[in-house]
Each structure stands twice: as structure tokens, then as C-alpha cells.
Structure 1
Amino acid sequence: MTPERPADRSESFGEALLGAVLDRAHELPPHLIGPLVADVVERLGGHRPQVLLQDYGQLLLVPLAGEGLTGGAPQVIDDSEAGRCFLDAVTVEVPEDGGVRIHLPLLDGGDQVGVMAVTLDSVDDDDRRLLLRISGLVADLLVTKHGYSDLFFGVRRREPMSVAAEIQWSLLPPLAMIMPRVAVAGILEPAYDVGGDSFDYALNGAILHVVMIDAMGHGLDAATMATVAIGSYRHARRLGIGLPAIYDFMDRAVAKQFGPEHFVTAQMMQLDTTTGQVQWVNAGHPPPILVRGHRVTQRLLAPTTLPVGLGGPKPSVSELRLMHGDRILCFTDGLIEEHERGGREFGEDQLIDCVNHLEKTGRGIRAVTRSLSHTLKRARGGRTTDDATLLMVEWRG
């Protein structure tokens, strides 16, 4: 019997590169992520490394400063190769004098953190494989170190932010989640002055839980009410109770804290990502719309109860069986009640027209949600006097 040959445990070049990130990640201070990226890229034979982070308004990709990193002006997402990489979450290669500039998406759970760019003299499949894996590690580093420092907040912030918006951004989950069976993407406007709008989601096993809320009023009072509403929703959701009981829990929490004259509209959903069965409860919120076959097919009209905080009756649970690729778009009233230049209310019909136009592009849910928000804002003449929030859910089957 021939003795088995021992497995080769020697460190390959690729493992050494990835190990350079992993071995230092645990105790790496946030401000040293840039130098670490520069060091790894140099060992691969690359130069001009750059880490670009999305700004809060989702308009620009802003260079992260750091020793060894390339700086420069922010790049417009809708008008740059880095932006194309960002929007479509694909590697983009651009020939340059003496080399190739490679842009790689920084993805974490489907949320697009930003873009990593590097120039190589030439590129082969081994380079592409290693760079994709390095960019994945860098994305994870940026996400995990984000909570330890204000560094990344400063890079992404392009204008002053209100206290209310500061509170709301700290409440939010990642703006996008792309999984094999389900995808979620959301956006808040005005990014630097949002008050009472918020959303939350959680994928617990096969069930996706989603809520969108709009707290009455503006500014800090609305943000405080939204904080209680989201906090009570999360608490109730984690108890494992159904949608009517979650509504009741939120209702009592808001009423107890703020009194009978204050309220929060809410849209709560649960989607079985195995079967496509979706259930929802509407508490005084604009009805969501269903996008099927890249076109709006219906408004999801259903019985409603009073907004959270007003002591409404037990809400009815509505149900729908989704088809593969269906998207549900939830939005707050600020999106359709804004008045265009000239005095006419923007309205739901124009919202539907914009959705239909963008859906024809066939782009992913994250790119469509972002483009829809910006398109609607331009159509309103750049005006956003009230919070205008979008949240889209896609059942991928």
C-alpha cells in the first residue's frame, strides 16, 4: 500500500497576500486600512491604489485618505468608470498608458460600500481572482471598523448634517442587502436633513421582516419619535410575535412616550423567501406598489388601521403570492405630496411613470432604487421639503 502524501501546507503567493490582511485585521486601527491596502497592492505589483466611499447623498465616490493611497477629487457616480463599477457591482477595467486601471466593487452582504481601484502593468485571471478576494476583505474591514471611528463618517459627509439626520442614520441597517432569494434596497432624502422617515429589515432564517415608518412632524421631535417606533418594532419582532401584535406593541410604546396627539404611519411586511408569500399590515401609510415584469402592475390596496400611537383597532393582515422577480416598492408620502415648480402636486401617477421607465433598464434593485430617488427629486425641481424615502424588496425565488 502506497503511503499517502502529506498535504501541501506551504504558503502560496495568493495566501500570503490575503493573509497580510487577515493577520493584521483584528487589531488594525481604522486609519491604517489605507496603508494596509497600499502595501498589499504593491506586493501584487500594482500602483496608484484608491479606496472610494459613497457619500450620504449617493451622488459621489469620495477618496479615502491614507498613506500610500491615491487621493484626488470625488468622482460622480453617474459619470465615471468607478461609478459604473459601483452601480452594477461589477469589475470595470480601463486601459491606460502603460497599464490597466481596475475598479472593483467593495461589497458586504450585497451592500455596496464603495470601490477599490488599482493600476497594474498587465492583468490576467490570477490577478483578477486575487484582487476580487482582496476587495472583499477590504469591504469587510471598512464595515467592521466603521463603528470604532468617525473617520468614514467624515469622508462620506459632503455637507453639514442636522442632529435629526445624525440620529436617523445611526438607526438604519445597511442601505442594501442582496441575497440569493431576496434583495432589499432603500434610500432617504434629504440625506443631510431627514427627520421622521426610517426603515428597518431583518432576514431571520427564511423570513424577511421589513418596516417603513414616517413619524409626524419634522426635525428632532420627529427623529425622536422614529427612534422609539423603530426600537419598539425591533423589540417586538425579536419576540417572534405576528404582525398585528407587533403593531399593538409599537402603538402602545409611541402613545405612552408621546401622548395621544402624536403618531407614526407604518408599513410592516413579512416575506417567506422560500415560497414568495408576503403578508403586510398598513397603519395609515401610502399603499406600496407591485412591479412585475419590469412594470408597475398594481397598487397593493388593503384595509388599513390607524397610525401607530393613535390606538387603532387590530389591523387586518393582507397577503399576496409573489412571482419570481417581483419587486414591491414602499414609499413615504413626502415623495408624492411634494409640489413641483408651478404648484402642482407631484402625485403617484408620475411616481409610477418613473418606476416604469427605470425598470426598463433591467438594472439591479440597488441601482434602480437610487436612480428612482434622484430622478424623482430632479422631476420635483430639486425640492425636498419633506422626507422622501424609498424601500424596494425583490423576491428572487
Structure 2
Amino acid sequence: MGEVRVDRSEGFGERLLGVLLDRARLLPPQLIAPLIADEVARIGGCDVSILLQDYAQELLVPLPGSKLHVGQPVPVGDSSAGRAFLRGEVVEVAQSPSGVRMFLPLLDGSDTVGVMALTLDAVGDDDRRLLRRLSGLVADMLVTKNAYTDQFFQARRREPMSVSAEIQWTLLPPLTMSVPQVEVAGILEPAYRVAGDSFDYALNGNILHAAVIDAMGHGLDAATMATVAIGAYRHARRVFISLAEKYAFMDDAISRQFGPDHFVTAQLMHVNTATGEMELVNAGHPAPLLIRDGRVVQQLESATTLPIGFGGEMPRIREHTLQQGDRVLCYTDGIIEEHVGDGEQFGEERLIRCVNRLGEAEPSQGLRADLRRLSHTLKRERSGRTSDDATLFMIEWRGGPADHLAVLD
């Protein structure tokens, strides 16, 4: 039997990505951007920019660095870079008199951490394939190096941030997650002063675990309580199974740590991504909204449960069945209790009208883009006022089998 020879030689694209990966491992964070610019130059690219989202989700801010093109921040909502960021798709813009400006989403899993922009004389399918893979590697490098430096945090920060907000942003999971069966997205306001609001989620097997919390009070006290609540939730999620046990564990942690006069309102959810069956515990929160075909069809009520920390009885679980394409919108009371120009509270009815109006105005741009648009619309409706924490968290259930892999060319 003859010897079978396997070709393990490097092609140009593999060599380029391999050099970047090999060199980046030991480089300090401030040299990552120049390395990326050097590697892009090897394929004929120029004017390389790394754009990161600011905390308020309004701007894409250029990362400063040697060999990078550093221009002005660009709006997320009305720019080519913003389209690439929100849709997770490559955007190409012809340049005058020649060349193509490319905007590539930097995807960490399914969470877009920024955009890489560069200019090429011409773009073919091989270029697109290589640049897509390069942008994925760049995203992984930025996320990894982010843990060792404050450089990326400082670039994203457009105004002073409170200590409580610093704590909350550190506590959060990625703002978006998308798999074929389910997608989630969240947004916090006011981005630079948030204190007691937070959310968390995890996809374990076919079950999406999700929680939205609102710790009483403001400032560091609220941030500290939210930290304990999320920590207890994560611990319970990794040990227990039922929502009732999660609630009881969190309740015990808050009451023991802070005493009987402190509490946290919360929504705890399980969503079966294969069937659409949803379990809900609502501990003092406004009821989530069920959105179907762009319109609110009902509030997802559940049995009354005391806020976490009050030592309530084991909660009764309310079950709902989602249809494919349904969205569940959770929100904290800062959304509806803000006073508007006429002195009245914003209220649930106005929130529902805003959701319906946006659903009718234009086709969906994807969960992340739609939630961001809703958040900014609500802020405008409140004349820019956000005196209390105001959190939105949305789940979209798509259904379908999970035991397959999508293979990209």
C-alpha cells in the first residue's frame, strides 16, 4: 500500500492569519493595532481603523494607535460602519475615483464588539473570504487583550462614568447573543450612571436561562446589591435546576447580606429553545410584553411573587408557549415611571404604543438594531430624561433543531 501524502503547506491566507496569531500572543495590548495594520497592508489594504461602540450605543469610536487611521467618531444609526455593526454584515462602499472602503463587523461569537474599516484597490471573493476570517481573529484578539488593559475601555468612554456604573458594566454578559434557535439583546440607561439594574443569561443545552433585576436605591448601595443578586443567580443557575430554587437562593442571599429593609425586583425565565415553552417567575417587576409580528399582543402576567429579599414563599411558575418569531420584551420600572413633559408618568400604554409604532414603521433590522432603536425612541419620548435606571432586555425565539453546524465557505 503506497504512502498517502497529505498537503499541509500554507497558502497565503493561512500564512497571514498564522503570523498574526503567532505574534499577537505575546504582544502588549498597545501593539495589537499596529500589528493588525501591518498585516492588512500585506494584502494591499490601507487606512485601517478599528471602531469600538461607546457605552451609550450611539457612536463608533476609533481606537487610537500607531499606523491606524484615526478619524472622528461615526454614528451607529446612520453610517456604513453602523450598518455593518448592527447587522453583523460586511458593507462595501465604492470610493472616488477608485477603490473600495470595507467595513467588517468584529464578531466575538455572535456579539459585535466593533468594526474594522479598510480600503482596497479592488475586492474579489478571495479578498472577502480572507478579510472575514481576519476580522474574526481581530475580534478574538481585542476581547482577549481587553482583560489586560484599560485602553479599550477608555476609547469607548465618551463622558465620565460613576463608580456604580463601572461595577455594573463589569458585571454584564455580552449585550447580544445569537444562535439559530434564539437571540437575546440588552441595553442599559443611563449608560454612564446606571446603578441597580442588570441582566444575565446563559444557554445550557436547550434551555435559555435569563434574569432581569432592579436593586432598590441608587448609587453604590444599589450596585452592591445588584452584584450580590447576579452572583447568587449565577451560582444557583450552575447548581440548581428550577426557577423556584433560583428565586429562593437569591432571596436568602439578599436577606442575609442586607437585612429585611432591602430588596431586589426580578424576572427569572427559562425558555426551551427547541419547543418555545417558557417558564416565568415575576418578583415585583412590570410584566414582560409578548411581541408578535411587530405588535404587542399581550402582557405575560404571572402569579404574584414578593421581591427578592423579603423572604417570600416559593413562587408559583407561570408557563407560556411562544410561537416562532415571537419576542419577549422585559423592562425595569425606570422605563415607565419617568415623568414626561405633562408631569404624568410615561406609563405602560405609551411604551406599548412606541413598540407598535416602530414595528409598523419599517421592517425589522434584527434584534439588536430594533432594541437599540426602541431604547433611543423611548429616550426621545421622555425628552432625554433618564432619572432612574431604565433597562430593556429582549428575547426572540426562532425554534428549529440545534444539532447541526452551519459551514461557511
Alignment TM class, shorter chain as reference:
over 0.9
2:15 alignment partner in structure 1: 16
Report deviation, 1:5. Answer: 5.4
**Secondary structure, counterpart of 2:101 in structure 1:** strand
Give the AA of the match of 1:380.
Answer: R
1:200 alignment partner in structure 2: 200
Report deviation, 1:81. Answer: 1.0
Is the counterpart of residue 394 in structure 1 residue 393 in structure 2?
Answer: no
1:232 alignment partner in structure 2: 232
2:28 alignment partner in structure 1: 29
**Secondary structure, counterpart of 2:313 in structure 1:** coil
Report deviation, 1:371. Answer: 1.0
Deviations along 1:309-351, one digit per CA (max 9) or x if unpaired, are 0111211101111111111000000001101122121111111
Match of 1:379 among 381, 388, 397: 381
2:165 alignment partner in structure 1: 165
Deviations along 1:83-129, one digit per CA (max 9) or x if unpaired, are 11111111111111221000011111211101001100011111111
**Secondary structure, counterpart of 2:316 in structure 1:** coil
1:61 alignment partner in structure 2: 60
Any conservation in 2 of the 1:288–1:329 contact (CA below 8 Å)?
A: yes
Give the AA of the match of 2:211.
Answer: V
1:125 alignment partner in structure 2: 125
Any conservation in 1 of the 2:280–2:302 contact (CA below 8 Å)?
A: no
Any conservation in 2 of the 1:52–1:63 contact (CA below 8 Å)?
A: yes
For 1:317 and 1:25, the matched residues in 2 are separated by: 49
Any conservation in 2 of the 1:296–1:356 contact (CA below 8 Å)?
A: yes
Is the counterpart of residue 50 in structure 1 residue 52 in structure 2?
Answer: no
For 1:105 and 1:260, the matched residues in 2 are separated by: 47
For 1:378 and 1:12, the matched residues in 2 are separated by: 52
Report deviation, 1:140. Answer: 1.0
**Secondary structure, counterpart of 1:227 in structure 2:** helix
Q: Which moved more, 1:51-60 or 1:106-115?
A: 106-115
Q: Which moved more, 1:345-354 or 1:165-174?
A: 345-354
Report deviation, 1:158. Answer: 0.4
Give the AA of the match of 1:332.
Answer: T
For 2:341 and 2:106, the matched residues in 1 are separated by: 38
Match of 1:366 among 350, 365, 368: 368
Give the AA of the match of 2:122.
Answer: S
2:402 alignment partner in structure 1: none
1:308 alignment partner in structure 2: 308
1:256 alignment partner in structure 2: 256
Deviations along 1:220-273, one digit per CA (max 9) or x if unpaired, are 111111111111111111112311111111111101111111100000001111
Give the AA of the match of 1:78.
Answer: G
For 1:23 and 1:351, the matched residues in 2 are separated by: 50
Report deviation, 1:4. Answer: 6.0
Any conservation in 1 of the 2:196–2:214 contact (CA below 8 Å)?
A: yes
For 2:62 and 2:197, the matched residues in 1 are separated by: 29
For 1:395 and 1:85, the matched residues in 2 are separated by: 23
Any conservation in 2 of the 1:175–1:186 contact (CA below 8 Å)?
A: yes
Give the AA of the match of 2:351.
Answer: L
Deviations along 1:360-386, one digit per CA (max 9) or x if unpaired, are 421211111111111100110000000
Any conservation in 2 of the 1:346–1:380 contact (CA below 8 Å)?
A: yes
- Structure 2: stretches of 5+ with no match in the other structure: 400-409
For 2:159 and 2:107, the matched residues in 1 are separated by: 25
1:136 alignment partner in structure 2: 136
**Secondary structure, counterpart of 1:34 in structure 2:** helix
What is the percentage of aligned positions where both structures have the same residue?
64
Any conservation in 2 of the 1:325–1:395 contact (CA below 8 Å)?
A: yes
For 2:359 and 2:173, the matched residues in 1 are separated by: 25
1:289 alignment partner in structure 2: 289
1:79 alignment partner in structure 2: 78
Is the counterpart of residue 187 in structure 1 residue 187 in structure 2?
Answer: yes
**Secondary structure, counterpart of 2:368 in structure 1:** helix
Q: Which moved more, 1:76-85 or 1:211-220?
A: 76-85
Give the AA of the match of 2:341.
Answer: R
Report deviation, 1:25. Answer: 3.1
Give the AA of the match of 1:20.
Answer: V
**Secondary structure, counterpart of 1:305 in structure 2:** coil
**Secondary structure, counterpart of 2:203 in structure 1:** strand
2:277 alignment partner in structure 1: 277
Aligned-pair Cα RMSD in Å: 1.2
Any conservation in 2 of the 1:109–1:179 contact (CA below 8 Å)?
A: no
For 1:320 and 1:96, the matched residues in 2 are separated by: 51
For 2:273 and 2:224, the matched residues in 1 are separated by: 32
Report deviation, 1:396. Answer: 1.4
**Secondary structure, counterpart of 2:77 in structure 1:** helix
For 2:69 and 2:151, the matched residues in 1 are separated by: 17
Report deviation, 1:355. Answer: 1.5
Q: How many residues end up aligned between the 2 structures?
A: 396
Q: Which moved more, 1:4-13 or 1:368-377?
A: 4-13
**Secondary structure, counterpart of 1:53 in structure 2:** strand
2:145 alignment partner in structure 1: 145
Q: Which moved more, 1:22-31 or 1:149-158?
A: 22-31
- Structure 1: stretches of 5+ with no match in the other structure: none
